[in-house]
Structure 1
Amino acid sequence: MTGEVSADGASLVRVGMVDDHRSPIWGIERVLDPIPDISLVCAASTVDAVLGGMPLDVVLLDLRLGDGTTPRENVNALTAAGVATVVYTSGEHPALLRSAARAGALGVVLKSADESVIIDAIRAAARGRAVLTTEWAAAIDGDPELAAVDLSPQLQKVLALYASGETSARVGTALGVSAETVNEYLKRIRQKYADAGRPTRTKVDLFKRAVEDGWLPVPQRYRRTTGVVSDDARGRRR
């Protein structure tokens, strides 16, 4: 999160936008203009152009750009620059969504989403948290390249608790083991995901893996009535 502050003293989230059409940019300008703690500081048609401007905390990234770059290339470039990525798309290209998810985008927001969803997504991403939407869940749940990872019941519990925000000490207390044992369990979990080609370098990565494999549910507020990540999906991945 940036150290800059808004007029009312809150931390200011600096947002960039990458889209080669002007109308979505105008829409985001209108959405963010009255929000005191978020500022759209630049917009461009390429990631390189956005990164060449002012320092940024979050970028809203369209998936299909005229410069021929791929979602993976763009997310990787933003991540290397220390910028969180939220895919901002019309959602009609599931394969591109999955590519962005695998590259490390924090989430997906549809261009048709309510203003409150867009604002919440930016704030979450600025704090390094996954942006949990139905579209993001659908992208990862339908990805055939997500190799299954087999975790014992104890490792499942450790992953679910730790990825939910608990510390190693609190996980240990809940399970009746030491914090050191929990850390050893976490090493095993990370290794298993690394062996499957699904690295977990951060706690956010662990959270994403837990949701992807059904150890944690997508919060109820982000599910449609039909359900995207369900108990059936959890069973398929075990």
Structure 2
Amino acid sequence: MITVAVVDDDRMLLDGIRSWLADTPQLRLVAAVATVGELLTGPDGPTSRPPADVVLLDLLLKDGSEPVANICRLRAAGSRVLVISTVAGRERVIAAVAAGADGYLTKDNDLETLVAAVEAVAAGDTAHSPELAFAWAHDTGQTRPRISPKELEVLRAYASGLTLKATARRAGISPHTAKYYLDRVKDKYQQAGRPTYTKTDLAARVREDGIGPTDPDN
């Protein structure tokens, strides 16, 4: 059972989400509120437990709170964050994921897409969407290094948990060449100001940059 909370000030959307999730047995809605502050405080005051496994967060709330700050607060509280927004602007998508959001969907998606995204985020993956793919493909920011297709193939396989030898075998190259590609990727991230030294660091960069899937069977 995955617990879900919704932060959105659109009452019609909140009612719609309640109705949708009522018929989705693998997801349990535990809160539907208008602000992040309301979610984190709760009816009984602040708690040390995450408010939910996954929080569906509207990007632009009427309380004037900053989207990046909201995402950071939710991640600090221990929840994973799936942004649900009417806004699909490239810069907003990139800023949301860079702040720690685990995916980005526009509100015109159907229930099946939403459930799949929540399940992916709860499992520790990035919820991919056309909006997210477009944003990354057209990103001109300085913090996301340019990675070649072969480097990306090796990075995805290795970050998913494969050994160096298994990664090399999957990519059809030698372990020495696979290590060379990984070292190049690490160096590119370090030059972009994002220290990357370990396998855990590489997996984090894959998630942060939305360049999965990291499942070796995909």
Superposed pair shares fold, TM > 0.5 = yes
> Cα offset for 1:182?
5.7
The answer to whether residue 61 in structure 2 is matched with residue 72 in structure 1 is no
Residue number in structure 1 paired with 2:25: 36
Q: Deviations over 1:191-226 (max 9, x none)?
A: 421431456646253256473xxxx79xxxxxxxxx
Change (3 A) 1:160 1:22: same
Change (3 A) 1:69 1:184: farther
SS at match of 1:14: strand
Matching of residues 1-238 of structure 1 within 5 Å: 12-53=1-42, 55-91=51-87, 93-147=89-143, 149-151=145-147, 155-163=151-159, 166-174=162-170, 175-177=173-175, 186=182, 189-197=185-193, 201=201, 203=203, 205-206=205-206, 209=209, 211=211
Tell me if structure 2 keeps the 8 A contact 1:63–1:97.
Answer: no
Q: Structure 2: how far apart are the matches of 1:168 and 1:101?
A: 28
Q: Structure 2: how far apart are the matches of 1:29 and 1:153?
A: 41
**TM-score, normalised via structure 2 length:** 0.77
> Cα offset for 1:19?
0.7
Q: Structure 2: how far apart are the matches of 1:152 and 1:98?
A: 20
User: How many pairs were matched up?
Assistant: 200
Q: Structure 1: how far apart are the matches of 2:122 and 2:149?
A: 33
SS at match of 1:32: helix
CA root-mean-square deviation: 3.0
Tell me if structure 2 keeps the 8 A contact 1:159–1:210.
Answer: no
> Cα offset for 1:77?
1.2
> Cα offset for 1:166?
3.4
Change (3 A) 1:59 1:207: closer
Q: Structure 2: how far apart are the matches of 1:47 and 1:93?
A: 22
Q: Structure 2: how far apart are the matches of 1:114 and 1:153?
A: 31
SS at match of 1:137: helix
SS at match of 1:43: strand
> Cα offset for 1:42?
0.4
More contact order relative to length (CA 8 Å, sep ≥ 6):
2
Change (3 A) 1:210 1:71: closer
> Cα offset for 1:123?
0.8
Q: Structure 2: how far apart are the matches of 1:187 and 1:52?
A: 44
SS at match of 1:85: strand
- Between 1:71-80 and 1:52-61, the stretch displaced more is 52-61
Tell me if structure 2 keeps the 8 A contact 1:163–1:210.
Answer: no
Amino acid at match of 1:176: S
Change (3 A) 1:58 1:96: same
Amino acid at match of 1:43: A
Tell me if structure 2 keeps the 8 A contact 1:56–1:83.
Answer: yes
